[in-house]
């Protein structure tokens, strides 16, 4: 039960990160906290698919592009997730890549502060 609580807490923090980034990044909009929460879950699932299941494609792509492919893959994950979650809008791949990095940074900061 504790593991489930920690997982839910991580998604709540991630949803908070999504809302913070959406508040400051033009082209990235989130309507409600519930949308941000579901978006966080969908992004987590898509990240597992992108980096674990499709590792044979995504990791060499990231390496061959000197790391820029990492941002592209994460941007594509955000673009795909916004297609699933109707309350989230991302205006393009560049904004999606920036949002993915920003959400990761805010998420890390929140985790450090709350430990």
Number of Cβ atoms within 10 Å of the Cβ of 26: 8
**51 half-sphere exposure, CB direction, 13 A CA radius:** 16
- Report residues of the chain scoring pLDDT below 70: none
pLDDT for 83 equals: 96
CB-based contact 90:79 (threshold 8 Å) = yes
pLDDT of amino acid 70: 80
- Contact yes or no for 40/34 (Cβ under 8 A): no
pLDDT at 77: 94
Closest alpha carbon to 43 in 95, 90, 84, 93: 84
The H or E element spanning position 88 is strand 88-90
Return the pLDDT at 67. Answer: 73
pTM of the model: 0.88
pLDDT of residue 18: 97
Q: Give the model's pLDDT for residue 90.
A: 97
């Amino acid at each position: 039960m504790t593991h489930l609580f920690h997982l839910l807490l991580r998604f709540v923090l991630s949803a908070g990160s999504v809302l913070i980034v959406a508040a400051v990044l033009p082209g990235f909009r989130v309507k409600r906290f519930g949308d941000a929460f579901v978006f966080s879950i969908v992004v987590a699932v898509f990240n597992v698919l992108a980096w674990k299941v499709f590792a044979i494609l995504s990791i060499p792509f990231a390496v061959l592009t000197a790391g820029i492919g990492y941002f592209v893959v994460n941007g594509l994950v955000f673009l795909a997730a916004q297609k699933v979650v109707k309350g989230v809008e991302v205006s393009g791949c560049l904004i999606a890549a920036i949002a993915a990095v920003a959400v990761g940074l805010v998420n890390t900061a929140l985790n450090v502060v709350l430990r």
